[in-house]
Structure 1
Amino acid sequence: MDIYEEYIESIIQMADQAIDNGQDDEAKRWFERGLCEEPGSAKLHFRMACLLQYGLDDKARAEQHYLLAIKFKPDYRSAYVNLAQLYLDNEKYVGLENLMHKAMKVEGFNKTFAYENLGKVAEAQGQFNKAIAHYRKGMMQALENFDVDDLKDHIKRNKYKRLKKRWKLWQREN
C-alpha cells in the first residue's frame, strides 16, 4: 500500500471511529480534511456521500459526492448502487434512468439491478408495458431465484396496473 492509500485509510478509520461514537459531524470534518488533501479520492467521496445520505440526511450533497466518486472512478459499482437508491427514494427518475444506462456499461455491474431500476422508472411514469419489458430483461440476466421471484412480482403488479388503467379509459369512453 502506498502512502496515498495509507493516508486515505487513516482518514476513513478516524471518521469511522467518530461515527461509532455517534459523532457524525466530527466524521464529516475528517472526510472534509481528507478531501482537501486528496480531492480526487473516489473512496473518500463515496464514504462522505454515505455519511451525508444516511447519517446527516443531506441528500443533495450526498448526490454530489456520489457523482464525484463515479467521476474519479467510473467503475465504482457501490457508488452507482447507493446513488440509484438515493434517486429512487427521492423520485428523481430521470437521474436514475441515466445512471442505470451508464452503470450497465461498467464491467461486472449487476444488470438485473439496472433493469429492475429501469422498470421502476417506467412504472413510476405509468409506462407499464415498458416497465414489464425491463423487468423481463432483468429476469434474463438474473442468477438468483429470489431476483427472478421479485421481478415476477413486479411484472404481475404492472400487468394489474395496466389492466386497471385500460379499464378506467374504457369506462370514460362508455
Structure 2
Amino acid sequence: MESLSFYENQFIKADSLISDGNIAEGKELLEEILAQYPDFGKAHNHLGWIYYNKLSNYDRGIYHYKLAMKFEPKYPAPYINYTYLLIDIGRYAEAKGHIRDTMQNLENFDYSTYNSELGRMAEYENEYTAAYNYYKLAKKSALNPNFIDNMNANMKRVKDKMSIFEKLKLKLN
C-alpha cells in the first residue's frame, strides 16, 4: 500500500485537473484516491462538488459532502459547498440548521459568506427586510472588494423589491 503522502500529491493533481477544466480526469483520480483511502475528506469534498455542479446528481453530492465533513471536520470547504447545494435544491430549513450548526462547531467560520447565503434564502422566501439585513451583515464582515460590491448590489436589488412600508422600516431602524 502506498503512503498517504502519495495520495495527498495525487489529490493536488486532481485539484489542478479540475481547476483546468479536466473534470473527468480529476474525478477518476479522486475515485482512485478514495479506493485506497476512503476517509480522505478533501477528496470527498471535491467529488461532492463534481456531482453537484457538473453532474447535477444532488444525492451523490450530499453523500460526499457529508463524508467530507465527517472525515475532515476542520476543513471549511464542504460546509459551505453543502450549504450552496441545500439552498439550490430549496431545502432552506435544512440549510439554516446546517449553518447554525456550522457556526457553533467550525473554528474558521466565514461570517460574510454564510450571512450572504442566509440573505439569499430570505430573498427567495420574499423576506426582503431580513435579506437586506443579512446582506448588510455579510458586507460588514467582508474584506474582498468584489464581494462587498456584490453585497451592495444584493442590498439594492432587495430594496427595489420591498414595499414602501418595508423601505420605511429600514429607514427607521
TM-score, normalised via structure 1 length: 0.73
Q: Map of 1:40-79 to 2, 5 A cutoff?
A: 40-79=39-78
Alpha-carbon distance in 2 for matches of 1:28, 1:147: 30
Alpha-carbon distance in 2 for matches of 1:55, 1:120: 22
Identity of aligned residues (%): 25
Task: Give the conservation status (yes or no) of the 8 Å contact 1:40–1:72.
Answer: yes
Post-superposition offset of 1:53: 2.4
Rate the CA distance shift 1:155–1:4 in 2: closer, same or farther, 3 A: same
Task: Give the conservation status (yes or no) of the 8 Å contact 1:15–1:30.
Answer: no
Partner deviation per Cα, 1:30-72 (whole Å, 9 max, x = no partner)? 5444324322210221122123223433221012101210121
Helix, strand or coil for the counterpart of 1:69? helix
Q: Identify the residue that residue 171 of structure 1 maps to in structure 2.
A: none
Rate the CA distance shift 1:130–1:16 in 2: closer, same or farther, 3 A: closer
Partner deviation per Cα, 1:62-121 (whole Å, 9 max, x = no partner)? 121012101211222222232233233322322332233233342333211110101111
Unaligned runs of 5+ in 2: 167-173
Q: Identify the residue that residue 170 of structure 1 maps to in structure 2.
A: none
Post-superposition offset of 1:11: 6.5
Q: Identify the residue that residue 115 of structure 1 maps to in structure 2.
A: 115
Alpha-carbon distance in 1 for matches of 2:5, 2:159: 50
Helix, strand or coil for the counterpart of 1:153? helix
Rate the CA distance shift 1:37–1:130 in 2: closer, same or farther, 3 A: same
- The alignment's C-alpha RMSD in Å is 3.3
Alpha-carbon distance in 1 for matches of 2:145, 2:131: 20
Tell me which structure has the larger Cα radius of gyration. Answer: 1
Alpha-carbon distance in 1 for matches of 2:28, 2:49: 14
Q: Identify the residue that residue 135 of structure 1 maps to in structure 2.
A: 135
Post-superposition offset of 1:21: 9.8
Which AA in structure 2 matches 1:64? Y
Q: Map of 1:4-153 to 2, 5 A cutoff?
A: 4-10=4-10, 13=13, 24=24, 28=27, 30-105=29-104, 106-153=106-153
Unaligned runs of 5+ in 1: 167-174
TM-score, normalised via structure 2 length: 0.74
